[in-house]
């Protein structure tokens, strides 16, 4: 399964930016980022891998303009629904693959490059591309070691699949360290719940496993979930997320 198709699938049940629990956590994280000297007030910001706008649309409440960029049409469509519903006028949205997209006209066009929990920023060239877009700061949020999910663990253990633990926070830190770029960093805990029918959960696991090019039968996943959890599934994730802040001109 391609990365684009995976995120198109994920967009169907992805959290929305102004859900009560979501925006509470978002505002808390942004406030902490601002304590490191990053100001979104009146700024031009690009949100790379924006998803449904969990950070980008909240930042837009302070920023002059936000460009929200994501690989998924489904994510961007939801983001546009949210902007229309709340009459948010200072957000532009683009669908594309960050690694392939030609950003020449956006070189140093933004005050802040922002990216959260996205596979778009991983290697050195991705980080440098992110830096090339901003004049003041880069802010990156990524997986930072801990991801606890008992339902996922049970499914992956049953099928003898080694789970992929994302390491974005450490990958970006390594790139910056190798280039002697100074940064500030902090780690915070997060948790969220996914709720759905056994059929929706089956699709969730099937698509996640297919992303790693592993062949598996849907019926086998469904039978396991039905036996262990019944017809209604709740998947709770506990995670550490790491924030990295650095000056893009350094």
Digit-coded pLDDT (tens) for 55-93: 999 999 999 999 999 999 999 999 999 999 999 999 999
* Total tally of structural domains belonging to the chain: 1
Angle between helices 124-132 and 168-178 (to 10 degrees): 80
Global pTM?
Answer: 0.93
User: 250 pLDDT exceeds 90?
Assistant: no
Give the range of the structural domain holding residue 134, as residue numbers without chain letter: 3-147+164-192+240-247
How high is the pLDDT of residue 27?
97
Q: Is residue 221 situated within a structural domain?
A: no
**Nearest-CA neighbor of 159 among 236, 237, 220, 230?**
220
Question: Can you tell me the distance from the alpha carbon of 231 to that of 201, in angstroms, rounded to the nearest whole number?
Answer: 9
Name the CA radius of gyration of the chain, rounded.
18
Domain CATH for 114: 3.40.50.150
User: 164 pLDDT exceeds 90?
Assistant: no
């Amino acid at each position: 399964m391609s990365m684009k198709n995976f995120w198109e699938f994920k967009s169907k049940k992805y959290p929305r930016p102004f859900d009560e629990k979501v925006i509470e956590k978002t505002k808390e994280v942004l406030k902490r980022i601002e304590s490191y000297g990053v100001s979104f007030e009146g700024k031009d910001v690009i949100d790379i891998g924006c998803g449904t706008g969990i950070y980008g649309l909240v930042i837009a409440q302070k920023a002059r303009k936000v460009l929200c960029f994501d690989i998924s049409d489904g994510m961007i469509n939801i983001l546009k629904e949210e902007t229309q519903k709340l009459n948010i006028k200072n957000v532009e949205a683009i669908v594309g693959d960050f690694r392939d997209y030609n950003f020449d006209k956006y070189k140093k066009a933004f005050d802040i490059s922002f990216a959260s929990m996205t596979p778009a920023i991983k290697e050195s060239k991705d980080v440098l591309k992110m830096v090339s877009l901003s004049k003041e700061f880069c802010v990156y949020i990524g997986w930072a070691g801990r991801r606890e999910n008992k339902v996922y663990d049970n499914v992956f253990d049953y099928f003898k699949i080694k789970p992929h633990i994302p390491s974005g926070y450490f990958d970006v830190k390594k790139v910056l360290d190798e280039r002697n770029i100074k940064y500030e960093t902090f780690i915070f805990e997060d948790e969220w719940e996914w709720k759905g029918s056994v059929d929706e959960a089956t699709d969730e696991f099937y698509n996640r496993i297919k992303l790693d090019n592993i062949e598996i039968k849907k019926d086998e996943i469904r039978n396991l979930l039905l036996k262990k959890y019944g017809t209604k599934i709740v998947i709770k994730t506990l995670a550490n997320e790491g924030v990295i802040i650095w000056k893009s001109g350094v």
